[in-house]
Amino acid sequence: MVLVHPEYVVDPQEERKAVILPMAEWMIILEELDELEDLRLYDQVKASSQESIPFEQAYREIEEGSV
Protein backbone atom coordinates (compact mmCIF):
# COMPACT_ATOMS: atom_id res chain seq x y z
CA MET A 1 0.00 0.00 0.00
CA VAL A 2 1.26 3.43 -0.91
CA LEU A 3 1.50 5.81 2.02
CA VAL A 4 0.18 9.21 0.91
CA HIS A 5 0.05 12.58 2.55
CA PRO A 6 -2.82 14.37 0.80
CA GLU A 7 -3.72 18.00 1.16
CA TYR A 8 -7.27 18.95 0.23
CA VAL A 9 -8.59 21.91 -1.67
CA VAL A 10 -11.97 22.88 -0.24
CA ASP A 11 -14.76 25.16 -1.38
CA PRO A 12 -16.32 27.89 0.82
CA GLN A 13 -18.62 25.26 2.36
CA GLU A 14 -15.55 23.20 3.37
CA GLU A 15 -16.43 20.46 0.84
CA ARG A 16 -13.36 18.68 -0.55
CA LYS A 17 -12.95 19.47 -4.24
CA ALA A 18 -9.39 18.37 -5.09
CA VAL A 19 -6.32 16.66 -3.70
CA ILE A 20 -2.71 17.76 -3.75
CA LEU A 21 0.00 15.12 -3.34
CA PRO A 22 3.78 15.39 -3.15
CA MET A 23 5.27 14.59 -6.57
CA ALA A 24 7.21 11.59 -5.25
CA GLU A 25 4.01 10.01 -3.94
CA TRP A 26 2.21 10.71 -7.23
CA MET A 27 5.02 9.01 -9.18
CA ILE A 28 4.74 5.91 -6.95
CA ILE A 29 0.98 5.82 -7.56
CA LEU A 30 1.52 6.02 -11.33
CA GLU A 31 4.04 3.16 -11.19
CA GLU A 32 1.62 1.05 -9.15
CA LEU A 33 -1.19 1.73 -11.64
CA ASP A 34 1.07 0.73 -14.51
CA GLU A 35 1.93 -2.55 -12.78
CA LEU A 36 -1.76 -3.18 -12.08
CA GLU A 37 -2.58 -2.66 -15.76
CA ASP A 38 0.14 -5.17 -16.70
CA LEU A 39 -1.39 -7.72 -14.32
CA ARG A 40 -4.87 -7.15 -15.73
CA LEU A 41 -3.62 -7.62 -19.29
CA TYR A 42 -1.77 -10.78 -18.26
CA ASP A 43 -4.95 -12.16 -16.68
CA GLN A 44 -6.94 -11.35 -19.84
CA VAL A 45 -4.43 -13.14 -22.05
CA LYS A 46 -4.33 -16.19 -19.77
CA ALA A 47 -8.14 -16.35 -19.79
CA SER A 48 -8.41 -16.09 -23.58
CA SER A 49 -8.75 -19.16 -25.73
CA GLN A 50 -6.20 -18.00 -28.29
CA GLU A 51 -3.31 -20.30 -29.06
CA SER A 52 0.00 -19.08 -27.68
CA ILE A 53 3.38 -19.31 -29.38
CA PRO A 54 6.88 -19.20 -27.90
CA PHE A 55 8.44 -15.76 -27.54
CA GLU A 56 11.31 -16.64 -29.87
CA GLN A 57 8.89 -17.62 -32.63
CA ALA A 58 6.85 -14.45 -32.21
CA TYR A 59 10.00 -12.32 -32.27
CA ARG A 60 11.26 -14.09 -35.39
CA GLU A 61 7.92 -13.62 -37.17
CA ILE A 62 7.88 -9.92 -36.32
CA GLU A 63 11.45 -9.47 -37.53
CA GLU A 64 10.67 -11.32 -40.79
CA GLY A 65 7.59 -9.17 -41.31
CA SER A 66 5.23 -12.12 -41.53
CA VAL A 67 2.88 -10.71 -38.89
pLDDT 10s digits, 23-52 = 999 999 999 999 999 999 989 888 887 787
Q: How confident is the model at residue 66 (pLDDT cuts 50, 70, 90)?
A: low
- Residue 10 near residue 17 (C-beta atoms within 8 A): yes
User: What pLDDT was estimated at residue 14?
Assistant: 97
Task: Please tell me the predicted confidence (pLDDT) of residue 46.
Answer: 83
Q: Where are the domains of the chain?
A: 7-64
| Mean pLDDT, residues 12-19 taken together | 98
Put simply, whether the predicted model's pTM sits higher than 0.85 gets the answer: no
Map residue 16 onto helix, strand or coil. Answer: strand
